[in-house]
């Protein structure tokens, strides 16, 4: 059978499984979108880590703080 409603089923850019619904932006882990599970287990931690790097870099760049 051919699935017509392609907007409802998408493939996760990280684990490759088909997920339902809107999904999440998979960057910076992978280009495209990902499923709920990969978002929670990989994308969110990676974003948090990236933010921390930016904050640390900002402090080092300013010796007066």
Would you tell me which residues interact with Zn ion (CB under 5 A)?
A: 12, 14-15, 34-35, 38
Q: Strands (DSSP E) along the chain, which ranges?
A: 9-11, 18-20, 24-25, 33-34
Nearest approach in angstroms of CB 60 to Zn ion is 35
Closer to Zn ion by Cβ: residue 32 or 57: 32
Nearest approach in angstroms of CB 51 to Zn ion is 22
Closer to Zn ion by Cβ: residue 16 or 57: 16
- Rounded to 5, what percent of the chain is helix, strand, coil? 40, 15, 45
Nearest approach in angstroms of CB 54 to Zn ion is 26
Q: How far, in Å, CA of 28 to CA of 31, rounded?
A: 7
């Amino acid at each position: 059978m051919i699935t017509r409603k392609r907007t409802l089923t998408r493939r996760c850019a990280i684990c490759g499984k088909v997920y339902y619904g809107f999904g999440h932006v998979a960057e910076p882990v992978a280009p495209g979108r990902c499923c709920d599970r990969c978002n929670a287990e990989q994308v969110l931690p990676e974003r948090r880590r990236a933010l921390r790097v930016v904050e640390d870099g900002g402090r080092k760049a300013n010796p007066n703080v």
